[in-house]
């Protein structure tokens, strides 16, 4: 499927009502066709991986083409300049999270950039750091995430909605990856709870509620014994 075919299909599937409804979920955009994520993923499957196509889709400037670009891009062909440009262009929580899931976790430089993005002034650049940690915890359950604990503690002080939710997500996913990481994430949460910050206390309490729950504990014990 080439670029023109993709745009034609997006136009045929466009749904103005759904595009308007996206705003209710805090999804920001300048232009949108109003497609649901499963529809976007289906189109991406027909495209395969294509660096040039990803660039054209990104430059087209619609919410759906940004998302498609993260799905069809070839990770090994992403340059430092491109990575920086794309991340600094993020404008919505769902674009950040999908980029982390679909693309950034496969790029070594993106992982290294976590320690830069975590201090960014831009809300969605900063969210990228913690969302990427969360995604790595989902897909690499046996990894050691201690190296991120200091920036997670510092990031917990940021009261901006889309930052604090990503920090919380990172802690919870680390804590659900295995029993040892669960113990460490719970200890980290209690440390964060002591920070004199409204955001930190919300993040810690929310994380502890899930990580100490019987449901999570039983699941982790079961997965360890299998």
Is position 12 within any domain?
A: no
- The one-digit pLDDT tens for each residue of the chain (226 residues) are 899 999 999 999 999 999 998 888 888 888 999 999 999 999 999 999 999 999 999 999 999 999 999 999 999 999 999 999 999 999 999 999 999 999 999 999 999 999 999 999 999 999 999 999 999 999 999 888 999 999 999 999 999 999 999 999 999 999 999 999 999 999 999 999 999 999 999 999 999 999 999 999 999 998 887 6
Let me know if 23 is exposed, middle or buried by CB neighbors in 10 A (0-12, 13-18, 19+).
Answer: exposed
Domain that holds residue 178: 114-226
Residue in 127, 170, 128, 169 with CA at minimum distance from that of residue 148: 170
pLDDT of residue 28: 85
Closest CA to 63 of 100, 106, 108, 18: 18
- Residue 102 placed within a domain: no
Say if residues 220 and 182 touch (Cβ distance below 8 Å): yes
pLDDT at 25: 85
Within its chain, how far is the Cα of 194 from the centroid?
27
Q: Give yes or no for a contact between 192 and 204, defined as CB atoms under 8 angstroms apart.
A: yes
CATH number at residue 157: 1.25.10.10
Q: What distance in Å separates the CA atoms of residue 16 and residue 33, rounded to the nearest whole number?
A: 7
Q: Would 93 be classed as within a structural domain?
A: no
Please indicate, yes or no, if residue 155 is contained in any of the structural domains: yes
Q: Is residue 180 part of a domain?
A: yes
Is-contact 189 207, C-beta < 8 A? yes
**pLDDT the model gives residue 15:** 95
Q: How far is CA 157 from the centre of its chain?
A: 19
Neighbouring residues of 84: CB distance < 8 A, sequence distance ≥ 6: none
Nearest to 224, CA basis, from 139, 119, 141, 115 = 141
pTM, two decimal places:
0.95
The 8-class DSSP code of residue 147 comes to G
For residue 188, is it within any domain?
A: yes
**Alpha carbon distance 97, 184 (integer Å):** 24
- Asked if residue 183 belongs to a domain, the reply is yes
Q: Which residue has the tokens 């980290």?
A: 188
Domain presence at residue 25 = no
In the chain, how many domains are there?
1
How far is 192 from 203, CA to CA, in rounded Å? Answer: 8
């Amino acid at each position: 499927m080439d670029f023109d075919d993709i745009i034609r299909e997006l136009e045929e599937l466009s749904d103005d009502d759904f595009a308007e409804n996206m705003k209710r979920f805090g999804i920001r955009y300048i232009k949108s066709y109003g497609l649901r994520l499963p529809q976007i993923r289906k189109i991406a499957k027909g495209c395969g991986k294509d660096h040039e196509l990803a660039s054209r889709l990104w430059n087209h400037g619609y919410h759906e083409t940004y998302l498609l670009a993260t799905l069809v891009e070839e990770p090994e062909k992403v340059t430092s300049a491109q990575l920086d440009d794309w991340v600094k262009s993020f404008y919505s929580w769902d674009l950040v999270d999908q980029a982390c899931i679909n693309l950034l976790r496969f790029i070594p430089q993106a992982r290294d950039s976590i320690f830069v993005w975590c201090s960014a002034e831009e809300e969605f650049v900063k969210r990228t750091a913690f969302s990427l940690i969360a995604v790595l915890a989902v897909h690499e359950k046996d990894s050691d995430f201690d190296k991120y604990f200091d920036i997670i503690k510092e990031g917990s002080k940021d009261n901006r909605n889309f930052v604090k939710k990503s920090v919380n997500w990172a802690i919870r996913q680390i804590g659900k990856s295995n029993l040892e990481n669960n113990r460490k994430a719970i200890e980290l949460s209690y440390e964060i709870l002591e920070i004199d910050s409204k955001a930190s206390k919300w993040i810690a309490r929310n994380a502890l509620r899930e990580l100490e729950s019987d449901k999570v504990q039983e699941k982790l014990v079961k997965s360890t014994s299998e």
